[in-house]
Chain A
Amino acid sequence: MTKAKKISLKKLEPYLYILPAMIVSGLFLYYSIGFVIYISFHDWDGLSFNMPFVGLENYKYLFTDFRMYKALFNNLLYMFFVVGSQVVLGLFIAVLLKAKLVGHTLFKSLFFFPTILAPILIGGVFNIMMDPNMGAINRFLKYVGLGSFAIPWLADPRYALMSIILVSIFNWMGFAMVLYIAGLLAIPDDIYEAAKIDGSGFWNTLFKITIPMVRGTTATMIVIGIVGSLKVFDIVVILTNGGPGYSTEVMSTYLFKRFFNDFNGGLASATGVLILVLALVMSIIQLKIYEKSKLTM
């Protein structure tokens, strides 16, 4: 092998490592993304492929539809609370579990368990538990004398989105916890020991050492949270299907209803493009902030 060839191979090397992932994901997803972008400029009924080009019509519809704004607003609210609580709770529980007290594996498994469950099971159970009249939650609250907190969880536009957020936290906290546990393992023990010798307390250690050290995991969690929240679908459909009224409509349920109820594949595709752009922009901003914070550290 000549030297020149060797150098060019060296240059190609990084790309070769990425190639397999790019081929598999790219093959399916770039084709699909391209398809969705293409369709978003056409009038498509979601069935036949005889579709006229309509330019920006679908986007015009999308941006003048009051339902989309409601869905977007709800979705951002959902994202803010779910991502925030995932990061805080997931890290908090992971740190507590690090103390390795009695039964910590049991606790860990219990918190992780909901992420294994099918959405239909979680949704079905919460539908029953959150029933305003005979749901277990309200009966329990009344039993312990907290009757004033016995609200119609899913049956009131004021509370429905909050209830979905609570269920989502139950569902996904374990996921954040597992990632944080793996992240905490990367922090060398001697850093903690040094802190202990310096007499650093629990909170001090948490804020001065742990949180900065798992910054990367937090950044990942936030990106996953942003993307996951903008795509949230199953649990909303099962718990409220966007109601009462439009109080829990999110981008994905809006997209789904336009696609399969209205046979408006063009509009649904435009919605898909909007979700894609929003998620991508927010993720990139988040990652940029993270990169910057790494430099200042």
Chain B
Amino acid sequence: MNKKIEKLKWLGLAGLALAFLLAAPGIFAGGQKEKGAAGKITLTYWPIVPTIAHWKTVGPAWSKDHPNIRIEYSTAASRAEFEKKRQVAMAGGEGPDLLEVWRGSDLEHYSKMLEPIKPWADKSLGAGWEKQFASFAIASVTAKDGKIVALPMNMVAEEFVLYNKSLLDEIGVKGYDPAPKNYDEWKKLCDEITTKSNGSVIPVAYGGKEAWHIVDTFVYTANQFAQGKIYKAQEGKVKWTDPVFVKTMKVMKKLFDNIYQKGAVGINEYPDTRDQYFYSRKAAMFVTGSWHIGGWGLPGGEKDGTKIEEDAIGAFLSPQTGTNPPKPTFEVGDMVAINKDSKHKKAAWEFVEWLTYGKGAVVFANLMQGSPVKKNIKITTLNKLRTKTERDAVKWLLPVLQTSEGDMRLAYKSIQDALGASIQNVVFGKNIKDELKKVQEVSDKTKR
């Protein structure tokens, strides 16, 4: 018995000794200094996009041309975790050299900690470089004080519906051609799917658990009643109890009751709705954004190994549910910024220029994570898509994106959270006016 105690004691003492040893900084590769040849710089880069999968292409392309600037890429398991890691590190003065921020309150809060881009760009690209980007994209990376604090990488838009053409052909549904234009046509298509498949195929899969998706749908719908009104509401200039939003709420309820699958408010868009419904061939349609048209079908991409690997997937614009025809809502999906505290701003700028303006922009555009915002970039990977339907979808998408109007996402996450919760409550039959009042209450408390 005592021998066992003896063992435990020594284990304890050894552990404590080791703890104090480790507590000395620098041991076990602590500290931030990187070894390596003189003149070699290491930059840390924390983005969500490029993803790990993208980085397999983007990373080597960078290193090939810039052997002296190594990029240490790292991301996190989810957007929420990423935001946590980034915020705590930035507040503690240990942020990365390069980081991703997003349009709206996120960029605004970080703007004072980010390096103004314009002086660097003016010096290296010459005056007037902004004209090389879509003008909305430059507006998106500009803080309220007028400083440009990041550069845009791509544009994404909502709301689109992917449909599994092969599956629909199999069960003999033809209603996807021409694509449904309004709610009634969409409902008819859904009913046809249910009837012809004897209920074995779910017509539409929609991930309604996360606030971002339902609120994006809400914005897309509200713009069909009164273009742009919702942006005034989020700035506090229009009440959330406005009739436009009451009407939009009614549409949301109708969509969840009659179009989307049962229980959609409890299912994540990613990965559950995508994998368990659309990729597993249980659902014929999947409501998503432009980022999901194209790139995911590339070899080595998401489709590989799933039940729909060989299927032809088409896309159409989410049908009209308001009084006016729908237009896609859009925004800069991803951007890259330089930390003001970075010790290697010159090298960091070199990377930003490469990724958004130079060769890297072409490499990134070919991954089809959204569409380019830098002018004169041609996507050359289209022919790698497996089916003609998918190639056609991308070709169809590009001009449709030109008709986009209005921001895809609300700029204030506090309002997004509140509106998302209220939409879900309305879906379950709560009073629309009461729910909108709650949104107003949160909106009133939001700092702008």
On A, residues with C-beta under 8 Å from B are: 45-49, 61, 65-67, 120, 127-128, 130-134, 152-157, 160, 237, 240-246, 249, 256-257, 259-264
Contact = CB atoms under 8 A, between A and B. Distances in A.
B445 A261 contact: no
A234 to B, nearest CB: 11
Contacts of A133: 202, 261-263, 277, 282
20 contacts: A46-B91, A47-B87, A47-B109, A47-B113, A49-B91, A61-B445, A66-B438, A127-B267, A127-B272, A131-B276, A134-B277, A155-B267, A156-B266, A244-B421, A244-B424, A244-B427, A260-B80, A260-B87, A263-B109, A264-B447
Contact of A157 (B113, B211, B428): B428
B262 A132 contact: yes
Given A131-B272, A134-B282, A244 B425 contact: yes
B424 A245 contact: yes
B266 A245 contact: no
Contacts of A256: 80
B166 interface: no
Contact of B272 (A120, A128, A152, A257): A128
B311 interface: no
B422 A131 contact: no
Contact of B425 (A128, A152, A154, A245): A245
Contact of B266 (A45, A47, A153, A263): A153
Nearest to A261: B413
B414 A243 contact: no
B303 to A, nearest CB: 20
B292 interface: no
B292 to A, nearest CB: 20
A120 B76 CA distance: 13
Interface centre among B262, B263, B414, B418 (most CB of A within 10 A): B263
Interface in B160-181: none
A243 B282 contact: no
Interface in B384-442: 413-414, 416-418, 420-422, 424-425, 427-428, 430, 438, 441-442
Contact of A47 (B90, B210, B418, B427): B90
Interface of B: 77, 80, 83-84, 87, 90-91, 105, 109-110, 112-113, 202, 209-211, 261-268, 272, 276-277, 282, 413-414, 416-418, 420-422, 424-425, 427-428, 430, 438, 441-442, 445-447
Nearest to A237: B80
Nearest to B112: A48
Contacts of B110: 47
A243 B261 contact: no
Given A127-B268, A156-B428, A262-B446, A243 B421 contact: yes
Nearest first, the 4 A-B pairs at minimum CB distance are A155-B266, A132-B263, A155-B263, A245-B425
Nearest to A258: B414
B77 A240 contact: no
Nearest to B424: A244
B209 A243 contact: yes
A240 B266 CA distance: 7
SS class of chain A's interface: helix, strand, loop or mixed? loop
Contacts of A157: 424-425, 428
Nearest to B273: A131
A164 to B, nearest CB: 11
Contacts of B268: 127
Contacts of A67: 418, 442
Given A155-B264, A243-B265, A264-B414, 5 more contacts: A67-B442, A132-B266, A157-B425, A240-B266, A262-B414
Given A154-B266, A157-B428, A48 B113 contact: yes
B276 A134 contact: yes
A265 B193 CA distance: 49
Contacts of A243: 209, 211, 265-266, 420-421, 424
Contacts of A154: 209, 263, 266-267
A262 B413 contact: yes
A284 to B, nearest CB: 30
Contact of B428 (A45, A49, A61, A244): A244
B417 A261 contact: yes
A261 B195 CA distance: 43
B160 to A, nearest CB: 22
A241 B272 contact: no
A32 to B, nearest CB: 12
B87 A131 contact: no
A148 to B, nearest CB: 15
A153 B263 CA distance: 9
Contacts of B421: 242-246, 249
A263 B105 contact: yes
A65 B424 CA distance: 19
A244 B266 contact: yes
A244 B265 contact: yes
B267 A131 contact: yes
A98 to B, nearest CB: 22
A259 B414 CA distance: 10
B343 to A, nearest CB: 20
A246 B421 CA distance: 6
B305 to A, nearest CB: 17
